[in-house]
Structure 1
Amino acid sequence: MSLRQTSSNSKFPAKTHARKVADELGVDNGLIYLPGQLESTWEDSDMGPSFRQRRYFYYLTGADFAGCAVTYDMNLLLWFGTTPTPAKCLEKADLDEVKYVSDLPKYLISKLATVQQLYVLRESQMPKLGSLGVLTPQVRVDTTSLLPAISEARVVKTDYEIAMIRIACAVSSKAHHDVCARFLYFKNECEIEATFSASCIASNSHAQSYPVIAGSGTNAGTLHYDSNNEPLEGRQVVVLDAGAERNCYASDITRTLPIGGKFTREGKASTTFLQLHAHMVAANGLLHLGILHNGSAREIFANGTTAAFFPHVLGHHVGLEVHDVPGREKLMLQADGLPSVVRRSKRTPITPGILQAMIKDAAGVYGGPFTGRRELDAGMVVTIEPGIYFCREYIEASFLKKPEHAKYINREVLEKYWGVGGVRIEDCILVTGEGHENISSAAPKGERMLNIINRR
């Protein structure tokens, strides 16, 4: 496969995506209207941020440029834009018709005279009809149904979407390999970021799914560290969390690399049990290291104390967003009476209280197991990303100062691990009818990663 090519000769499946949305809406009459993103400039400047298309709009069009809109009347998918030409747009995406955006108001007025329902994502995206008129009284405007319908449709990916995520993972895996191959020469975090980004651009993936995270030492304990400007000298590991986009589809891969090409005793111990998962595994591993004591793994787990070292969710959906929409149900257990504890990313902290509530939910206290949790279906792409972190400020403030947690934490042993900062290993997993496939397995890890770093 050439990473410089899109590797998909098929058109963007706009009609397939539109039909999925219509099925989720459960209607056969009405008009969907979605505007694309406009170009913008910074205040007092003729320059602006890099263009980023609205993902819900892209899902129905495959159009990644500014000044566009799309309509779908449950039978006809019509796309409006400025550049490239309508003929070129029809070549790239499976659409019924493409017109210039100047024709949009006139088309909407005529179409809205024949339908009774207009679906928009939110009130701020209502169509602007200008001087041609206003909505007739018989047209009902629905600003609440479309967002959950498209979100649900996006959860299970089409073949085209899976192909794009595969390419993004392949590009990112090669970039992780290139970092490993040069790792012993790096002196600063910025060199890691530069090498990863350059490799992706050389593979014709110019956009990153999220800012590159290249955190060394204590910076590795910050989940979304992105300064990437500190020296590596005197530190133990680097957490490299980075993934490229391909045609707006994301990847998300994390590896933990030993500075100097060899893990320290503490760094190696921290990574030994990471490729398994969840808090019980963490509790057993931390007991083995002596960081936790004075209780069994189950007792410490039930107390929520493992959240000190594993304070984020185990995974999330991947698609048009790196932390993609979860649809109507969450991947994680969700306790009754609590807010939605996990939206779509690992940014939401898992506190001891949330962990305890999730345990109770799994045990059936709140109406049976799996309350509020989605089952995995073939075609979903999710991450698995266990991590162990030694963030001094967080652990001291939220755990060591609280007797109910402090009694289980061995301060003397923990002191040896502050310098590790944190470790995380993350892969993108495609759910299949037979099980699963790791589509980011080409990114080096374990013994293979060490062999590449040390040129063995």
Structure 2
Amino acid sequence: MKHTLIPVEEFISRRKVFAEQLPDNAVAIIFAGQEVTRSNDTEYLFCQNKSFYYLTGFNEPDAVLVIEKNTTRIISTLFCLPKDPLAEVWHGKRIGSDNAKTEYGFDYAYSLDELTPEIEGIIANKQTLCFCQGQHLDNDARVFSWLELVKVKSRQGISAPVNFINCAPLIDEMRLIKSDAELQIMRKVNAISGRAHQRAMEATQAGVFEYQIEAELLHEFARNGARFAAYNSIVAGGNNANILHYTNNCDELHDGDLLLIDAGGELAGYAADITRTFPINGKFSAPQKALYQLVLDAQLAAIEAIKPGTNLAALNDICHNVLTEGLIALGILKGEFTQLIEDKACKQYFIHGLGHWLGLDVHDVGDYQMENKRQNRTFQPGMVLTIEPGLYIPADDHSVEPQWRGIGIRIEDNILVTDQGHENLTKNAPKSIAEIERVMQSVVASK
């Protein structure tokens, strides 16, 4: 994950905007991610702390960003792993402090072995200390240990910060509104991910295993530049679709079942998050078609309402109305519409939220401004969110007719709020019943 897809000037600007929100005579400390041991002497693939990356574009572990705001000047300093020929033979090239300063636009850059003496001097005589509190307890402990080093010098006339700010909400708010450069990346990764979903449809047939379809997704991501998945892919055949975060992906696919795929690639740190549900044999049965069209109608109605000024709470109302009315028509819900809405009866089958912010994290940061458990934050241009209604009827649910049992359906798209309304970033992934059946039947015909 390098900053090449976003100009370095944008990262410099982000640091400036962040610092301008701090009080004068303040210092902020933001930590990079750390490598995590998988087993013995092997590590999981490194994933940078996304807020650190947002402010730096720097993708090495263990680094520390320090931003000072004085009355007349904002100063950014990076501490990073030193150049080390032996370590680089084993683990790859490091950028080093000299290159970091020039290539990433920091005012100063030092090796990590200089961190403690330098940061002690930076913290000294500052009024306010800012850090992302509670995200990593070891990092919190490091901050307070540095603070203690300054406090013991009080008899020398050196003061320690007395005010503390959790700077995570400030960065979260900045990340919520995407820049043009970010949106270019998100459009690209969504297009890649949409093609991967179509490839998965084309590869699906009875007798193959869920993990084989997952491999098709990962191959399509990587061959188009999105080397990694943004999250563990869900490839859930039949009743497995009723497990919301099913990632075992180990079962054989069976004729007559649906396959639910929730998967997205990651490009330059930015995530796509798409869900499609389709018949393994390429043709929806009548019950599958009825439930699928109902979920699709609810999703389309919610997406159509997205524009500046509305919110997720309003979209939830739209979705619940459509689902409730449809479930009554199918005989799955029984009762009077108004009472069923008041009772939130459709939540028995639509058991998760309608959507979430999307960006550097798949469940991205940003306040939803909850009020009475409702997400009332007003949409603004530049926000990106998912819209993902679903219906889930487990195989052992004997409260419904047998024809509905074992069906799990979710449809998810990634939507950008624009000045005029919205833009669907994932429209290239087949979604209508006619589109899906056409894609899958064309493959069957070619075999």
Length-normalised TM-score, structure 1: 0.79
| Structure 1 residue ranges without an equivalent (≥5) | 336-340, 342-357, 359-371, 397-410
Deviates more, 1:223-232 or 1:151-160: 151-160
The equivalent of 2:323 in structure 1 is 282
Question: What do you get for the CA RMSD once the two structures are aligned?
Answer: 2.7
CA distance in structure 1 between the aligned counterparts of 2:320 and 2:422, rounded to whole angstroms: 22
The alignment partner of 1:77 has SS state of strand
Structure 1: 4+ residue segments shifted above 6 A: 4-7, 128-133
1:442 aligns with 2:437: no
1:46 aligns with 2:46: no
CA distance in structure 1 between the aligned counterparts of 2:400 and 2:114, rounded to whole angstroms: 72
> Which is bigger in relative contact order (C-alpha 8 A, separation at least 6)?
1
The equivalent of 1:191 in structure 2 is 212
The alignment partner of 2:5 has SS state of coil
Equivalent residues of 2:32, 2:49 under 8 A apart:
yes
1:250 aligns with 2:271: yes
CA distance in structure 2 between the aligned counterparts of 1:439 and 1:153, rounded to whole angstroms: 21
Equivalent residues of 1:13, 1:93 under 8 A apart:
no
The equivalent of 1:373 in structure 2 is 376
The equivalent of 1:383 in structure 2 is 386
| Per-residue deviation, residues 393-417 of structure 1 (Å, max 9, x unmatched) | 6x67xxxxxxxxxxxxxx453x211
| Structure 2 residue ranges without an equivalent (≥5) | 82-93, 300-318
The equivalent of 2:261 in structure 1 is 240
Give the aligned residue type for 2:371. Answer: Q
| Per-residue deviation, residues 158-182 of structure 1 (Å, max 9, x unmatched) | 2332222222212211211211222
Equivalent residues of 1:120, 1:141 under 8 A apart:
no
Point out the structure with the larger strand share: 2
**Structure 1 segment 132-151 matched on structure 2, within 5 A:** 134-136=149-151, 137=154, 138-140=159-161, 144-151=165-172
Say if 1:282 and 1:106 are closer, same or farther in 2 by CA, change over 3 A.
Answer: same
CA distance in structure 1 between the aligned counterparts of 2:120 and 2:419, rounded to whole angstroms: 45
Shift of 1:142: 5.1
- Between Structure 1 and Structure 2, how many residues are aligned? 396
Of residues 434, 438, 441 in structure 2, which corresponds to 1:451? Answer: 438
1:36 aligns with 2:32: yes
CA distance in structure 2 between the aligned counterparts of 1:76 and 1:305, rounded to whole angstroms: 55
The alignment partner of 1:192 has SS state of helix
**Structure 1 segment 10-29 matched on structure 2, within 5 A:** 10-11=7-8, 13-23=10-20, 25-29=21-25
Say if 1:10 and 1:437 are closer, same or farther in 2 by CA, change over 3 A.
Answer: same
The equivalent of 1:112 in structure 2 is 123
Say if 1:16 and 1:291 are closer, same or farther in 2 by CA, change over 3 A.
Answer: same
Shift of 1:185: 7.0
**Structure 1 segment 79-94 matched on structure 2, within 5 A:** 79-82=78-81, 83-86=94-97, 88-89=99-100, 93-94=104-105
The equivalent of 1:367 in structure 2 is none
Say if 1:30 and 1:431 are closer, same or farther in 2 by CA, change over 3 A.
Answer: same
Deviates more, 1:102-111 or 1:248-257: 102-111
Shift of 1:217: 0.8
CA distance in structure 1 between the aligned counterparts of 2:31 and 2:337, rounded to whole angstroms: 52
Shift of 1:419: 2.7
Length-normalised TM-score, structure 2: 0.81
CA distance in structure 2 between the aligned counterparts of 1:389 and 1:12, rounded to whole angstroms: 47
Give the aligned residue type for 1:455. Answer: S
CA distance in structure 2 between the aligned counterparts of 1:441 and 1:141, rounded to whole angstroms: 51
CA distance in structure 2 between the aligned counterparts of 1:92 and 1:223, rounded to whole angstroms: 43
